[in-house]
Amino acid sequence: MKVLVTGGAGFIGSHVVDMYVEHGHDVVVVDDLSTGKPEHVNPKARLYPVDIRSAELADVFAAEKPDVVSHHAARANVRESMVEPLLYADVNVLGSLQLLEQSRKYAVAKFIYISTGGAVYGEPEYLPADESHPIQPLDPYGVSKASFEHYLPLYRASYGLSFTVLRYANVYGPRQDPLGEAGVVAIFTGKMLLGEQAVVNGSGEQERDFVYVADAARANLLALDRGDGRIYNIGTGVGTSINEIFSRLSEATGYERNEVHGPPKAGEVFKIYLDVDRAAQELGWQPAVDLDEGLRATVEYFREQM
């Protein structure tokens, strides 16, 4: 099967590419390399350095004619989205719609869309949040990701384009950017290994659902031929506080500095973790890597890179 992975040079997308290649699929990567790195792209995949908003996207579809699209390319920083809402609408809605149009024109059989379980539900009315929870995002990133979801049933009903939506929790692991604004595990790990002060935003009692990147990638593999027309949370079903992440990473890295707390960040949900029963029942997916194992693997990766 030929699979086109957008954002396939990025943190999560590159792991998805690896998973598809490992299972014998022919993989094409589209990534504008604004945050992705060519060295993360599996050598058995073909990389097109193309922005999903550009006219060049049509050339890629014409040349490759993929069977499936796994759409990871996005602007994905909650804090940045509060400052640049137009950019987030442009990339995450209009760029995604261009990709969907090319999928329609070239008779793609399935469109796997990566949404966010950490941002679309807003401050949850109940926990763990399941896929039926009201959509009430608190930031333009969550709004943009949720908005595009509504195009998928339309294209399925009108053009027969199958789809599956995967709403990721907070994905962490090797290749995440420790210098960015998003991804607390990578940021803390980078600071701790360098002996610099890691800062906890707000009280640190915020809770997130941390899912290891290889588990997220495996959901994309299962979605190739399962879950048509369905939305799935991809997480662990467990909330872990930022203070707990600080503590566990301090132990894993040998970090000796105490916690320092900064101001809370606008637009961020306080507590969110996801009900993943539907993914278990229908996709046959469940997380396989526990938090301690995943944090150790992440620390080891960054230690080797530094």
Count of Cβ atoms closer than 10 Å to residue 293 Cβ: 11
Active-site residue 141, yes or no?
yes
The structure tokens 């969907």 sit at 100
Nearest CA to 167 out of 52, 302, 272, 33 is that of 272
Upstream peptide bond of 124 is cis (omega within 30 degrees of 0): no
* Structure token pair of residue 264: 């809370």
Contact 95, 50 (CB under 8 A): no
Beta pairing class for 110-116 and 162-168: parallel
Considering 141, 212, 232, 255, which one is annotated as catalytic? 141
* Structure token pair of residue 238: 């467990």
Contact 252, 303 (CB under 8 A): no
Q: Which residues are marked as active site?
A: 141
